[in-house]
Structure 1
Amino acid sequence: MLQPDVPTAVRAGEELNETALATYLSLGPIARVAQFPGGYSNLTYLLTIGKTDYVLRRPPVGAKAIRGGHDMGREFRVLSLLREAGYTKIPKPVAYCDDETVIGSPFYVMERVPGVILRAGSAPKLGLSETTMRHLSEALVDTLVELHALPVEPTLLQLGKPDGYVQRQVDGWRNRYLAAQTDDIPAMTTLATYLTEQMPPQNPAVTLLHNDFKYDNVVLSDDLSELRAVLDWEMCTVGDPLMDVGTSLSYWAEAGDDPFRKSFNLTWLPGNLTRQEVANRYADRSGRDVGNILYYYVFGLFKNAVVMQQIYARYKQGLTKDERFAGLLAGVKALSVVGVKAVETGTL
């Protein structure tokens, strides 16, 4: 039987002030606090209060140095606006706190959605059948299409400015890389130049964008037959839907990819769609032209590399002691090389 995502003991240096937290929430005494070990960005905790499980999200230590990132208030607002727009495949938001004296940083709390989260580190050991993986990979694509079909106006349009979205994203992630750069990586420079010089015309389509859509950001039912909730809305906005597809494709490792890429997703397991099949299914289900999807895929690789660079920079500065972060510089190099190869070969 599949096990739900299991939290463990809170890591040293990432503890919560339980007394202050319980006082602020006023939901009753906190019976248990644990930490979800997955993820490389925000810190995620399980709070058990009475008979109800909640999830608390807060920025990582040292995140103040990342301008515009780890905005807990915005993520809480996204969940609230999605509920207002009628989208229910999300956790119910409960409380947001911007008073840093409570636990040392802003945070928000939501109800926990019970179920299974398939993670790259454990899913390959579960013996999931090709039929199951085919069904799940198709369900992921269809859920992304569903998100992109939500009416943006008037409620969700509050989440961003779609005009010039691609331009702002390319400029913004290039500048973030320069701000966090620790080593000379020629492939990253090559990708930044490509993204600037080959930028497509503005897409007239405007949709909700999740911007981090992958297996370990969805909750499945225990029997894997149902996708119950989409998680991690930190980077949600509105804009060109192909940017969202490109980001998902950048996570979509295939069987022939290098071990590093396969360590971050389980899309390489037998039965999953290939990257090209993902693009084709998205086009079929959404009716959108994906002829220029290579550009968006390369942007996704570049963005993911920059995220790793930012985390590695925090680790190198001693702002986090999580040893998983020590090897992320190799990941920056690996993803940027993959991006250059995709440009050179013209294939996903």
Structure 2
Amino acid sequence: MDTREVRQGEELDKEKLEEYLKQNFPSYPDGPFDIRQFGAGHSNLTYELKSGEWEAVLRRPPKGPVAQKAHDMEREYKVIDAVHPFFPLAPAPMDFENGDLLGKPFFIMERKHGVVYDTEWPEGVTPSVELARNISREMVDRLVELHDIDYTKTPIKNMVKPEGFMGRQVEGWIRRFDKAHTPDSEEGKELKRWLLDHIPDNEESTIIHYDYKLNNAMFSKDEPDRMIGLFDWEMTTVGDPLADVGAAMSYWIEADDPEDLKQGLGKPPLTTEEGFYTRKEFMERYAEKSGRDLRHMDFYLAFAYFKLAGIVQQIYYRYQKGQTDDPRFRHMNHFVNRLIKQASVQAGLEMKSKGE
């Protein structure tokens, strides 16, 4: 996974952090200490910490005020601590710090090494249709594997309330979206009513990652179609597994998707290239491997696009309020509008884009 120099304004207090590492990690060596930043992502900030052969990853919230219950580092740390023994693709947790040291809570986890497929093929990987299909299959099968874990036998059971999950999700994301709404974004009134009226009656509950996408997975350098890591467990909970599938599909962009959907977060992901599963193929394999009935996927997909619109709108709201100056966020309202339209189409609703 590529790192870069730390972005201006997102620096860590190097002296304090090094002293903390020396005090809390017996294996931490003397010698030069280096901090680099992982460049991907639009939410939490993630850094590589390295001294000699010792290395780890630090994860912390973004600058400025954050939405209530968002960017909960302690909860994410507890999640990976609970999940890792049952699903080793989750990085091993190392330590949590409550915020006194750097002004924001953070946690430390293991540094995994491999390749991440995002918008371009990584150096050293030879692209092929066969590899794209194998990567797609691996993405499906590992999601099924995660959903097959009996959560009642893991510590995560003490952190969750599965009953009424989808109802809380729909109502909660409507509230979050409305709270972060700006006049240049769609309101999605009809869509919100439709979602509230069509919540499926599915009582199955499993561990769900809820941010399952290609660039949150890491694959082996030697076996480029074998997943070796899965990151960003901030949204993980126990709930309807089909909500997880829907969320995954909201990120799984296809070659024939509208241009403003494909480029909403920048350059289109590799899933638009030949050989990668379509969303239909992904869901068909998931149904086959899991044995689950996907007849109500229109709801889950519509909600997933709306939820993603809410996430992007929160980011855009922070930019509009001057809580971040990251130029990537300047025009994110356009992507919010596309996602609301995409959700409405999935729900079978007609709508005009804002300004039409």
Listed one character per residue, the Cα deviations across residues 73-106 of structure 1 (whole Å, up to 9, x for unaligned) are 011101111134x3211211111000x2322200
Contact 2:185–2:334, Cα closer than 8 Å, also in 1 = no
Q: Name 1:234's counterpart in structure 2.
A: 234
SS class of match (2:139) = helix
Describe how 1:193-208 pairs up with structure 2 within 5 A: 193-201=193-201, 203-208=202-207
Q: Name 2:133's counterpart in structure 1.
A: 134
Contact 2:132–2:275, Cα closer than 8 Å, also in 1 = yes
Contact 1:211–1:235, Cα closer than 8 Å, also in 2 = yes
Q: CA deviation at 1:258?
A: 2.2
Count of aligned pairs between the two proteins: 337
Whole-angstrom CA distance in 2 between matches of 1:269 and 1:48: 35
Listed one character per residue, the Cα deviations across residues 181-234 of structure 1 (whole Å, up to 9, x for unaligned) are 112544622221111111111x12110000000100111011413100111100
Listed one character per residue, the Cα deviations across residues 234-259 of structure 1 (whole Å, up to 9, x for unaligned) are 00000110000000011111111123
Whole-angstrom CA distance in 2 between matches of 1:323 and 1:13: 13
Q: 1:344 aligns with which of 329, 339, 348?
A: 348
Whole-angstrom CA distance in 1 between matches of 2:256 and 2:225: 28
Q: Name 2:331's counterpart in structure 1.
A: 327
Tell whether 2:187 aligns with 1:220: no
The amino acid across from 2:315 in the alignment is I
Listed one character per residue, the Cα deviations across residues 104-134 of structure 1 (whole Å, up to 9, x for unaligned) are 20000111110011112x2399762111111
Q: Name 2:3's counterpart in structure 1.
A: 7
Q: TM-score with structure 2 length normalisation?
A: 0.90
Whole-angstrom CA distance in 2 between matches of 1:266 and 1:343: 26
Contact 1:159–1:236, Cα closer than 8 Å, also in 2 = no
Contact 2:115–2:218, Cα closer than 8 Å, also in 1 = yes
Contact 2:116–2:122, Cα closer than 8 Å, also in 1 = no
Cα separation, partners in 2 of 1:186 and 1:333, compared to 1, 3 Å: closer
The amino acid across from 1:59 in the alignment is P
Tell whether 2:38 aligns with 1:52: no
Whole-angstrom CA distance in 2 between matches of 1:50 and 1:211: 35
Whole-angstrom CA distance in 2 between matches of 1:300 and 1:123: 27
Whole-angstrom CA distance in 1 between matches of 2:306 and 2:138: 26
Q: Name 2:33's counterpart in structure 1.
A: 31
Describe how 1:107-186 pairs up with structure 2 within 5 A: 107-120=106-119, 122-123=120-121, 128-155=127-154, 156-183=156-183, 185-186=185-186
Is there any run of 5+ residues in structure 1 with no aligned partner, and where?
Answer: none
Whole-angstrom CA distance in 1 between matches of 2:102 and 2:186: 41
The amino acid across from 2:252 in the alignment is W
Q: Name 1:21's counterpart in structure 2.
A: 17
Q: Name 1:91's counterpart in structure 2.
A: 91
Whole-angstrom CA distance in 1 between matches of 2:304 and 2:187: 14
Whole-angstrom CA distance in 2 between matches of 1:124 and 1:189: 42
Contact 2:299–2:346, Cα closer than 8 Å, also in 1 = no
Q: Name 2:354's counterpart in structure 1.
A: none
Whole-angstrom CA distance in 1 between matches of 2:72 and 2:3: 23
Q: Name 1:81's counterpart in structure 2.
A: 82
SS class of match (2:3) = coil
Q: Name 1:281's counterpart in structure 2.
A: 285
Q: CA deviation at 1:70?
A: 0.2
The amino acid across from 1:191 in the alignment is L
Whole-angstrom CA distance in 1 between matches of 2:349 and 2:136: 25
Q: CA deviation at 1:28?
A: 4.2
SS class of match (2:238) = strand
Listed one character per residue, the Cα deviations across residues 50-75 of structure 1 (whole Å, up to 9, x for unaligned) are 3022111000012x430000000011
The amino acid across from 1:172 in the alignment is G
Q: CA deviation at 1:318?
A: 1.1
Is there any run of 5+ residues in structure 2 with no aligned partner, and where?
Answer: 23-27, 351-356
Whole-angstrom CA distance in 2 between matches of 1:40 and 1:19: 26
SS class of match (1:123) = coil
Q: CA deviation at 1:36?
A: 0.9
Q: CA deviation at 1:270?
A: 0.7
Whole-angstrom CA distance in 2 between matches of 1:255 and 1:266: 9
Q: TM-score with structure 1 length normalisation?
A: 0.92
Measured on the aligned residues, the alpha-carbon RMSD in Å equals 1.8
Whole-angstrom CA distance in 2 between matches of 1:216 and 1:242: 20
- Identical-residue share of aligned pairs (%): 38
Listed one character per residue, the Cα deviations across residues 271-304 of structure 1 (whole Å, up to 9, x for unaligned) are 1111111111111000000000110011110011
